[in-house]
Chain A
Amino acid sequence: MSQTISLKGRLSLRRTLIDGAFRFFLYLSIFISLGMIFWIVSSLWNEAGWLLSWDLLTKYPSYDIDNAGFQSPLVGSLWVVGIATLVALPTGLLTALYLEEFAGKGNKFSRLIELNIQNLAGVPAVVFGLIGLAFIVRGFVKWGFTVGSAAAVIAMLMLPVIIIVSREAIRAVPPSYREGALALGATPWQAVWRLVLPSAIPGTATGSILAVSRAIGESAPLLLLGALSFVTFNPTGLDSPFTIMPLTIFKYASDSREEFQILASAGSLILMTVLFILNLIAIILRDIATRKRNV
């Protein structure tokens, strides 16, 4: 006689409840994080969406609402963050490579550097601004309140983050790649350049996107570095005075007239759009790099 087997699930009430609760909290956390973004963007949109036009990007900051726009702060932000990224990305990546691949694990010197980098990542941005003010704007470099000084400080701010995430990405590359390359008579540098680095690019890119996103919204240190509120010309080089988006938004928002507060919301929308586009570009570049590697 064949046995009748029932495969109907008969989990205990407790297991069912825990499983359900776990799912619930997962969905809840997704809902909270997405909800926040949606809430911010939609309230900005409701308030200032109608105001958005190319005009805002062609006009310069002004006390006159009809002529007020965001051209110089937007260009200024892109200058500062762009130059800072150009400096911080290669420097950070090379530092990470040195620490992971060449410094040696037990090395006291590299452990000291490591500790310092972790501390630097936690230093408030204003402190970097003060250092920049003391040493770059005045001090030894005497660069003044310029795009160059600002980019230097923002680069300092980005460096620890880039170094830390790049190290994680480099560490995640299987050691067997290195061994295999060295066993073929590659020099340590060739193994790193041809195998380790390409494999580490996706991870590094993700971290760098984060660092750039944070930098573009940074305002406190740049306030100390002479980001002026109403600059009616675009930066033309490293020695130009400049202003940036977050500061201009702040300036507009603190104006007592309601039109300017709406203009500030429009500025926030522009900044978020720029951020979104930058992230999109970085993600596309990363995917291209990943696909090329896996051919």
Chain B
Amino acid sequence: MSNDLQTAPSHTEFVDNNQGSAAQMNEVKSGPRIIDPVFTLEDVSVSYGKYVAVTDVNLQIPSNDITAFIGPSGCGKSTLIRTLNRTNDLIPGASVAGKVMYHDADLYDSKASAVEIRRRIGMVFQKPNPFPKSIYENVAFGPKVNGRPKKSELDAIVEKSLRGAALWDEVKDRLGASALGLSGGQQQRLCIARSLAVQPEVILMDEPCSALDPIATLRIEELMMELKKEYTIVIVTHNMQQAARVSTYTAYFVTEVNPLGDLRTGKLVEYDETKKIFSTPSDPRTEAYVTGKMG
């Protein structure tokens, strides 16, 4: 088909052929019907060795929008977001069953390159993790590992990415200073700028604000609203208000205790428009959670 993740074109141009891609034709078993989704998950289970972290997930993630994963600790939402760019591969023993489709390409196809996938699908982590390099070098890192850009191109990418992450005005006079000297909120925006620099289509955010104070959190949320015009964003959050404020779609997960053993497994309970999840959820468990009666 048109999308082959083995080859590495410098730009993400997904040509959908008119017969309709595999992903589009598939009916999802739950949740809203999403036209031309970026991700389609079918019966996805993720395990670490024998321990099943999350199971039976079916959902579709829309493009140029923010989708939030919420739920109590241990419900597998972080595991799930990490399977969307194969970051979970790095954990020994991790395995994925079911189908994770990115447009019409299977992310877990044996021929798909994890490196190319991660270039297209960026990730921002829970704890800001700037590299021990200058601010400039942090942003330039992605373009440098993906090619040999000229200095002038690199300068332009760095400025554009820092502006994109609403950090440019604060750091433009000290691009050569160590990134480790920035505040937590600035560091997290630098990490966002860093992922923008490789021009991904999707940015996955795994609790990006959990280590930040309310003001820094607010700035990141504003930034996310700005970024969704150009990028598809998936966010895992513990903060329900955050999900309600920023996301258009919300997936609610629970932890189920396996009666056979003491193993806990995450399950998708409900996936719908955020408005509906927070006002008239169809599952009583979701209602209990969003109204604060549980979790």
Contacts and interface: CB of A to CB of B under 8 A. Distances in A.
Q: Do the two chains bind?
A: yes
A186 B145 contact: yes
Given A104-B92, A185-B145, A295-B134, A179 B129 contact: yes
A179 B87 contact: yes
B83 to A, nearest CB: 13
A111 interface: no
Nearest to B191: A180
B122 A184 contact: yes
A106 B91 CA distance: 12
B125 A184 contact: no
Interface string A161-203: 0000000000000101111111111110010001100110000
Interface string A135-159: 0000000000000000000000000
Contacts, number: 79
Interface stretch (B19-27, B113-121, B245-253, B280-288): B113-121
A294 B129 contact: no
B132 A293 contact: yes
Residue among B132, B194, B197, B198 with the most chain A CB within 10 A?
Answer: B132
B118 A184 contact: yes
A184 B87 contact: no
Contacts of B85: 183
Contacts of A185: 115-116, 118-120, 142, 145-146, 198
Interface string A101-138: 00011100000000000000000000000000000000
B141 interface: yes
Q: Is the interface of B mostly helix, strand, loop or mixed?
A: mixed
B180 A294 contact: yes
B198 A179 contact: no
Interface residues of A, number: 24
Contacts of A294: 132, 178, 180
Residue among A183, A186, A199 with the most chain B CB within 10 A?
Answer: A183
Contacts of B146: 184-185
Contacts of A198: 132
Contacts of B194: 180, 184
Contacts of A194: 141, 144-145
Nearest to A106: B92
Contacts of A199: 132
Residue among B122, B127, B133 with the most chain A CB within 10 A?
Answer: B133
A183 B92 contact: no
Contacts of A177: 129, 131-132
A199 B120 CA distance: 27
Contacts of B149: none
Q: Name the interface size band of chain B.
A: 20 to 34
A226 to B, nearest CB: 47
Given A177-B129, A294-B180, A295-B134, A183 B122 contact: yes
A184 B115 CA distance: 8
Contacts of B118: 182-185
Interface in B169-205: 176-178, 180, 191, 194-195, 197-198
Contact of B125 (A106, A180, A186, A187): A180
A104 B132 CA distance: 25
B123 interface: yes
A186 B87 CA distance: 12
B162 to A, nearest CB: 15
Interface in B197-237: 197-198
A176 B127 contact: yes
B90 interface: yes
A94 B241 CA distance: 48
A181 B132 contact: no
A177 B144 CA distance: 16
Residue among B127, B131, B133 with the most chain A CB within 10 A?
Answer: B131
B142 A184 contact: yes
A182 B129 contact: no
Contacts of B125: 176, 179-180, 183
B153 to A, nearest CB: 17
23 contacts: A106-B92, A176-B125, A177-B132, A178-B90, A180-B194, A181-B131, A181-B141, A183-B122, A184-B118, A184-B122, A184-B142, A184-B145, A184-B197, A185-B116, A185-B119, A185-B142, A185-B198, A186-B115, A190-B145, A194-B144, A195-B131, A198-B132, A295-B177
Sorted from nearest, which 6 A-B pairs have the closest CB atoms? A185-B119, A176-B129, A184-B142, A183-B123, A186-B145, A180-B129
Given A179-B125, A180-B131, A294-B178, 9 more contacts: A179-B90, A180-B125, A181-B141, A183-B123, A185-B118, A185-B120, A186-B115, A186-B142, A293-B133
